[in-house]
Amino acid sequence: MKNTLLIGLLIFAISCSKKQESTFPTEGKITESIYASGSIKSQDQYQAFVTVNGVIDQIFVKEGDSVQVGTALISISNQAQKINTENANLAAKFADAGENKGRLIDAKNFIEVSKSKFHLDSSVYARQKSLWGQQIGTRIDLEQKELNFENSRSNYLSAIQKYKDLKRQIDFSAAQSKKNLEFSNAMQQDYTLKSKTSGVIFSILKNKGEIVGPQTPIAIIGNPNAYILELQVDENDIFKINQEMQVVITLDSYKNEVFEAKITKISSIMNERSKTFLVEAKFIKAPAKLYPRMTFEANIILRTKEKGLLIPRNYLLADSIATFLNGDKKIVKTGLKDFQKIEILSGLSVTDEIIKPK
């Protein structure tokens, strides 16, 4: 009996010592925001890729170098392409119209010879025909002169056509060879990777002698004087966000400091894997020094209220039900909320003591 009494007293003492946590609503400022994380990239930042396969022959820049549009970054070695370019150059020289001028002159001279022969045979035939009309000469002579005339005319017309065909062939071959050379030179230029923007080399990702291809990033280039904040926003929150909204930023590299930014761009397509949207923002006042790929945490400010009736958010069940000290429950109307606090619009007053749900 005594043991039972002692156990009862002990249980009562423990229950009394574990008094339910309670609080009263207080007035204060509250800001509703959306949490997002992300990383920093420089403006105009991009990864440089080659468009051909090969081995890195030379690297013309180093990390930290400033580059302009068209600055050579690396060269790719490809002996086969070099030989193709040399062959195209030889073919272009061989097919050049100027180099074939002699052939055209010979063809034109042949036209003149054929023309003279045609005129001569034409005169002889006309004279023989006139004599035949006067019953002078034989029919065989007339037919022979006529045959010579027809052959001369055919040869003359053929010489003209051969000249035209030769000129057309030379012009076509010269134009085709020139185009092939231009194409080969363009291909040769692909073996030198050039910068597409002005900025700074943040990183060289490959070394001399490595094999690279169109899927291989070679370098990261960007503007060192302007940075963009890339935020990943959950699909459930994206419709609450608009451009120009204020963003509060904290960076691991700048502990105990808070920076402000504003939204500048909202992506119109969702990342299917992460179920997030890409949102870009720019610093209103940036930190003294930044680097690409630095990570940060952000709160996108939706609304702010300078004075509201507030309670800790974990004192409500389902963000809507308050429990009083006597155990009674009541549905309250809420307003703004952040991760810790929630605004009470109706249902509670500053004199109501509520307890934390178990």
Give me 80's structure tokens: 């086969």
Residue 3 is inside which H or E element, if any? helix 2-17
Name which of 100, 98, 88 is nearest 179 in CA terms.
88
Q: Is the pLDDT of residue 20 over 80?
A: no
Give me 287's structure tokens: 């930190």
Please check whether residue 24 is in contact with residue 350, taking contact to mean a CB–CB distance below 8 angstroms. yes
User: Phi/psi of residue 214, each to 5°?
Assistant: -60, -20
pLDDT in tens, 75-113: 887 666 566 666 656 666 665 656 677 787 888 888 888
d(CA 263, CA 241): 9
d(CA 271, CA 339): 25
Tokens 């006042």 correspond to 285
Average pLDDT over residues 261-266: 95
Q: Is the pLDDT of residue 245 over 60?
A: yes
Give me 92's structure tokens: 């272009």
Q: What is the mean pLDDT of the chain?
A: 84
Average pLDDT over residues 212-217: 90
Sign of CA dihedral 184, 185, 190, 191: positive
d(CA 11, CA 291): 60
d(CA 346, CA 335): 9
Name which of 38, 2, 85, 24 is nearest 294 in CA terms.
38
Give me 235's structure tokens: 């699909």
Q: Is the pLDDT of residue 305 over 70?
A: yes
Angle at 247 between CA 256 and CA 229, to 5 degrees: 90
Average pLDDT over residues 171-193: 73
Count other C-beta atoms under 10 Å from residue 179's C-beta.
12
Cα maximum dimension of the chain:
172
pLDDT in tens, 29-46: 888 888 899 999 998 898
